[in-house]
């Protein structure tokens, strides 16, 4: 089985395993106690904090360990907002942030605060000018991920941090995906990360709050971790997290070169092997191991099952599954195709043979899924010189498949109206039009669902 989902969770690094097992015998006691066992535990905790702080680029007393990356984000945002409550209750986030950041923004709004969501371009990157324009006199905090978790695009963190610093607004950086590859540059004020993203154990997060950043923890006071992360420290896991972070950083430069070559191979060859593919994300400013593409006329969930049966563990940035009919917020913000979305995120040590085998298996898997989905015949009628496709009750990618089947039946300049009640169609139909050089006119309300209007241009 080839595991190609390291962006979700990386396999445990050998150094993490060794450090975890070794510290189980030495790090079980309370590090706050003065007897021998407590002192041993404190030495391990302090050493781990120093190693992690060096990797982050902050002072040891600026960094605390939390129970997860999500907890680090929630604690960081709530504490920074509370520390600057006299300034205001306005939060800035990008449209492609991790759900933990977006959920924090929703919680703030529910409590009477406000948030601004900065849009991204089709590569998934924010504009520095857009961030600067979103800053207000009552802005308490801005948030920006260092790299996107679904498409791998790197964000202009240093430039945004400088724009925020110029007006005295702290910037929180979610570095979960990138910290294993290198430190985050720029004058950020807060930083969060998650150990299982770089090969450390799950259940360990990092929260760094630089000196000078106003911060007020929003939970009952606790004497541990500077009062910012309550509860007894999981010292063996913390030690393993810090040791693995140091280890992956040592390997990062060489491994990045190798993985970039493999992902570039996927980026360039998949569109040649599989027709109707859109490779998304920035082609240059991206993480080494992530490549994401969307296949027209393919249900992402079905395709992932086919690849799993073929021995490949991959994920999808699309949430358009049988349990939820909304597409990925990241792909939606980028305005790219969400149907048939596949994210390949190579772990350290991924081999050329595995990638070549994936490229051999993928075309057949896509063809098989397309054959199954293409069996349904579209229901069409002619109405006021416009061809109407009734795709009500059909989940993506069926509305797009039916549109593709009938677009050739109308003359150049003629229109097609696709009726759909699937939210994903709002994203996928315009994306299909751009890929196929057809004109997307817009949408209209219909008796049921929504009518999407397309004019045949080619």
- Phi, psi for 142 (deg, rounded to 5): -120, 145
Q: Which residues of 355-386 are buried (b: 16+ CB within 10 A; e: fewer)?
A: beebbebbeebbeebbeebeeeebebeeeeeb
Neighbours of 395 (CB within 10 A): 20
Contact present, 24 and 236 (Cβ < 8 Å) = yes
Q: Look up 58 and say whether it is catalytic.
A: no
Whether the ω angle into residue 10 lies within 30 degrees of 0, i.e. cis, is no
Joined together, the tokens standing for residue 147 give 């790299």
Q: 58, 164, 320, 433: which one is catalytic?
A: 320
Query: 5 - beta bridge partners?
Result: 345
Query: 342 - beta bridge partners?
Result: 293
Q: How far is CA 253 from CA 181, 258, 354, in A?
A: 8, 9, 21
**Rounded-to-integer distance, Cα 218 and Cα 215, Å:** 9
**Rounded-to-integer distance, Cα 319 and Cα 327, Å:** 5
* Residues in the chain, total: 458
Q: Where are the beta strands (DSSP E) in 204-322?
A: 205-209, 277-280, 290-295, 312-313
Helix (H) or strand (E) holding 311: none
Joined together, the tokens standing for residue 389 give 């496709």
> What sign does the dihedral 23-29-31-35 (CA atoms) show?
negative
* The residue to which tokens 């202009």 are assigned: 156
Active-site positions read 320
């Amino acid at each position: 089985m080839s595991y190609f989902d390291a962006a979700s969770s990386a396999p445990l690094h050998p150094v993490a395993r060794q450090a975890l097992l070794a510290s189980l015998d030495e790090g079980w006691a309370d590090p706050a106690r003065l007897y021998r066992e407590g002192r041993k535990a404190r030495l391990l905790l302090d050493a781990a904090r120093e190693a992690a702080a060096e990797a982050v680029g902050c002072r040891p007393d600026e960094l605390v360990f939390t129970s997860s990356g999500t907890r680090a984000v929630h604690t960081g945002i709530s504490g920074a907002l509370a520390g600057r409550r006299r300034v205001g209750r306005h939060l800035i986030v990008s449209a492609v942030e991790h759900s933990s950041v977006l959920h924090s923004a929703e919680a703030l709004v529910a409590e009477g605060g406000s948030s601004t969501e900065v849009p991204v371009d089709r590569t998934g990157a924010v504009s520095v000018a857009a961030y600067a324009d979103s800053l207000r006199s009552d802005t308490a905090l801005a948030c920006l991920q260092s790299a996107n978790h679904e498409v791998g695009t790197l964000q202009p963190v240093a430039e945004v941090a400088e724009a925020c610093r110029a007006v005295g607004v702290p910037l929180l950086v979610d570095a979960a995906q990138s910290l294993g590859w290198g430190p985050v540059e720029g004058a950020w004020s807060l930083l969060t990360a998650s150990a299982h993203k770089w090969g450390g154990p799950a259940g360990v997060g990092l929260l760094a709050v630089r000196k000078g950043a106003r911060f007020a923890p929003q939970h009952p006071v606790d004497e541990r971790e500077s009062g910012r992360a309550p509860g007894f420290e999981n010292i063996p896991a913390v030690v393993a997290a810090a040791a693995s972070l140091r280890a992956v950083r040592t390997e990062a430069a060489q491994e990045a070169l190798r993985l970039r070559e493999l992902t570039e191979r996927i980026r360039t060859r998949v569109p040649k092997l599989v027709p109707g593919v859109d490779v998304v994300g920035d082609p240059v400013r991206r993480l080494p191991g992530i490549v994401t593409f969307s296949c027209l006329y393919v249900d992402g969930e079905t395709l992932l099952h086919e690849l799993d049966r073929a021995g490949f563990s991959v994920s999808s940035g699309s949430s358009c599954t049988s349990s939820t009919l909304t597409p990925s917020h990241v792909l939606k913000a980028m305005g790219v195709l969400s149907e048939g979305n596949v994210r390949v995120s190579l772990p350290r040590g991924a081999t050329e043979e595995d990638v070549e085998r994936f490229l051999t298996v993928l075309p057949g898997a896509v063809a098989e899924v397309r054959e199954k989905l293409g069996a349904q015949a579209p229901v069409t009628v002619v109405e006021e010189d416009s061809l109407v496709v009734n795709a009500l009750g059909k989940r993506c990618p069926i509305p797009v498949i039916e549109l593709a089947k009938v677009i050739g039946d109308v003359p150049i300049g003629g229109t097609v109206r696709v009726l759909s009640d699937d939210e994903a169609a709002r994203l996928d139909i315009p994306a299909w039009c751009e890929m196929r050089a057809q004109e997307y006119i817009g949408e209209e309300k219909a008796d049921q669902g929504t009518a999407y209007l397309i004019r045949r241009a080619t």
